[in-house]
Chains A and B, each alone.
Chain A
Amino acid sequence: MATTGFDALAWKWMRYSAFLLIPLAWGHVLIQDILMGGHSIDLDYVSLRWSMIGWRIYDFCLLSFAFAHGINGLRQVLCDYILSEKYRRWAAWGLLAAWGIISAIGAVAIIGGVRLE
């Protein structure tokens, strides 16, 4: 394991963000999947939830922390299979781009809210 530089920072990020993700992700799963159940979630439910700014901030935190944690995890897994430095860099840039695009899509939706058609 590297002790300085980006990989050391990423290594620490995975562990410290984990402590924050426990209440965030488990709380989300408890409410949406267990108490509500994915089957009962619809547009009305999302607009009701997002009418409260606190839940929008909660979802925004979840989006930033969980997805970055997942994408960086995938990068670390890929580094175990890709041994050439060149392709590792390609994979990292590809993942960064995917992370940026998908996070932006999610962020726009959280800010924009449910659109009435």
Chain B
Amino acid sequence: MRSRFRATLSGYATYSARGGLFPFLLHRITGLGTLIFLTIHITTTASVYFSPSFYTRFMTVFRTPLFMLGEIILVFCVIFHGVNGLRIAYFDLFKPDLWKKPSFQKITRATLLIALVLWLPAATVMGYNLLKIGFGLFGGE
């Protein structure tokens, strides 16, 4: 068991040396987060056919502040995973030598920055809705 753990850690270390641990971990976390949501999203949305009354009840839960906050985080996950995924696909398929170049760090930072710039306007709109509908500010619903 310990050797497995060590193998995992050394796997992370080698990957880290080659591509940076932070974007690697964030890519996995955002990907898994999106997949968990997607599983819930597909099955609950399918209830419009299997049980419309359940769908209506579920969407009431979705309008609570906690879920609206989750939606803002989800949008960040989808945007970051997309931008960073494009970078990975571009490196792997067209420019594999970029993985080893010193400019890698700069590209990684740019990836995070692009994701944040794309996410901020979305987060503003959704944050406004959260305060308005979730907490009754700005005159409420």
Q: Which of A29, A37, A42 contacts B56 (CB 8 A)?
A: A42
Q: Which residue of B lies closest to A28 (CB)?
A: B78
Tell me how far the C-beta of A78 lies from the nearest C-beta in chain B, rounded to whole angstroms. Answer: 11
Tell me how far the C-beta of B48 lies from the nearest C-beta in chain A, rounded to whole angstroms. Answer: 5
Instruction: Give the dominant DSSP class at A's interface.
Output: helix
Q: A96 CA to B8 CA in the complex, in Å? A: 24
Categorize the interface residue count of chain B. Answer: 35 or more
The answer to whether B78 and A115 touch across the interface, beta carbons within 8 angstroms, is no
Categorize the interface residue count of chain A. Answer: 35 or more
The answer to whether B89 and A19 touch across the interface, beta carbons within 8 angstroms, is yes
Q: A103 CA to B44 CA in the complex, in Å? A: 12
The answer to whether B52 and A43 touch across the interface, beta carbons within 8 angstroms, is yes
Also in contact, A109 and B56, with CB within 8 A (given A22-B82, A33-B74, A37-B129): no
Q: Which of B4, B74, B129 contacts A39 (CB 8 A)?
A: B129
The answer to whether B126 and A117 touch across the interface, beta carbons within 8 angstroms, is no
Tell me how far the C-beta of A36 lies from the nearest C-beta in chain B, rounded to whole angstroms. Answer: 10
The answer to whether B48 and A106 touch across the interface, beta carbons within 8 angstroms, is no
Tell me how far the C-beta of A97 lies from the nearest C-beta in chain B, rounded to whole angstroms. Answer: 13
Residues of B near any A CB (own CB < 8 A): 4, 7-8, 11, 28, 31-32, 34-35, 38-39, 42-43, 45-50, 52-53, 55-56, 59, 62-63, 67-68, 71, 74-75, 78-79, 82, 85-86, 88-89, 92-93, 122, 125-126, 129, 133-134
Residues of A near any B CB (own CB < 8 A): 15-16, 18-19, 21-22, 25-26, 29-30, 33-34, 37-39, 41-43, 46-47, 63, 66-67, 70-71, 73-74, 77, 80-81, 83, 102-103, 105-106, 108-109, 112-117
Pull 27 A–B residue pairs with CB atoms less than 8 Å apart, ordered by A. A15-B92, A18-B82, A26-B78, A33-B122, A34-B126, A37-B126, A38-B62, A38-B71, A39-B68, A39-B133, A42-B56, A43-B56, A46-B55, A66-B38, A67-B42, A71-B35, A74-B35, A77-B32, A81-B8, A102-B39, A105-B43, A106-B46, A109-B50, A114-B49, A115-B49, A115-B50, A117-B52
